[in-house]
A and B are shown apart, each in its own frame.
Chain A
């Protein structure tokens, strides 16, 4: 099958280009990461990130035939119709909207900056209990669908609002994490957290496009979390 990969080495290339490779899958429905390993055997200069190869670390987020996802848990048959059969090439590009360091490796700095802004850690200024802060099963259930995020950046880099204002709009990943702590019964910094989201950009640049929901490899729903935060802001503001 044909594989077309975005190549760019800032030390030698004036501009990025797409390079074609031919890979023999022996008809198997391999994961995209396996294809990259086969390409790497042919061309040692190819750079990409990978680690756990089972959809837990979030290292190998990339754009596969136009849709973001994790290469390690995306089989060829799910990339696009015709790719597995070899009728269409597999097209791999880095995550859109972030600066490219080399080939499929992007600089995640802007993404992590926005993550840092939501203070993604438990804040509670009441005296700590002797053993631990307890939650009822119902309170614990409220952070299901929020805590599972692995920060692969597939969602934020598929969001047009994040492309246009990556410094001002927090992006779906950071906002999901923001709500993860807003919804946590053990956190009592709700007012401080909400007051930082009340400007026209940080949260309200979300226009409900829902690309984040369609690409999340963990099946999470940042748009719903953003809607919950908006409701909290509404209750607080009027």
Chain B
């Protein structure tokens, strides 16, 4: 049995579940937003701000930001462990993979914090 330490759930089943659940959240959000934009009529800044400032949308946006971050990590972790291996990079593979994973993780943390500040910052 392989026990990777950088996978999100550290377990195949959890990673698989996280990927599916986050995909459902992203899908439902996209369909809802599409429906809203098609039925909302003329949107101006004030009505858009009021809509996004409601507590329901703040919670929905928070869920979306977390779902996108989790989905991206599980997906890209799979890509890095498929393609950045000793088959393609020889002995340098571990270093290459580590650098790629750290870069992706840092980008996602920045994205997550930035998203939360935008949603809950109230500016």
Residues of A near any B CB (own CB < 8 A): 160-161, 164-165, 168, 195-205, 230, 233-234, 237-238
Q: Contacts of B27 on A, CB cut-off 8 Å?
A: none
Type the 1/0 row for B1-26, where 1 means its CB is closer than 8 Å to any CB of A: 11110010101111111000000000
**Residue with the greatest number of chain B CB neighbours at <10 A, chosen from A160, A168, A200:** A200
The yes or no answer to B82 lying at the interface (CB within 8 A) is yes
Contact indicator B13/A165 (Cβ below 8 Å): no
Q: Contacts of B40 on A, CB cut-off 8 Å?
A: none
Contact indicator B87/A200 (Cβ below 8 Å): no
Q: Other CB < 8 Å A-B pairs besides A198-B1, A199-B2, A202-B1, 20 of them?
A: A164-B82, A164-B87, A168-B2, A196-B1, A197-B12, A198-B11, A199-B3, A199-B4, A199-B11, A200-B2, A200-B4, A200-B7, A201-B2, A203-B12, A204-B13, A230-B13, A233-B12, A233-B13, A234-B13, A237-B14
If A199-B1, A199-B2 touch, whether A204 touches B82 (CB-CB below 8 Å) is no
Measured CA separation A197–B16 after assembly (Å): 13
Contact indicator B12/A198 (Cβ below 8 Å): yes
Contact indicator A165/B81 (Cβ below 8 Å): yes
Contact indicator A165/B4 (Cβ below 8 Å): no
If A196-B1, A199-B2, A200-B2 touch, whether A164 touches B83 (CB-CB below 8 Å) is yes
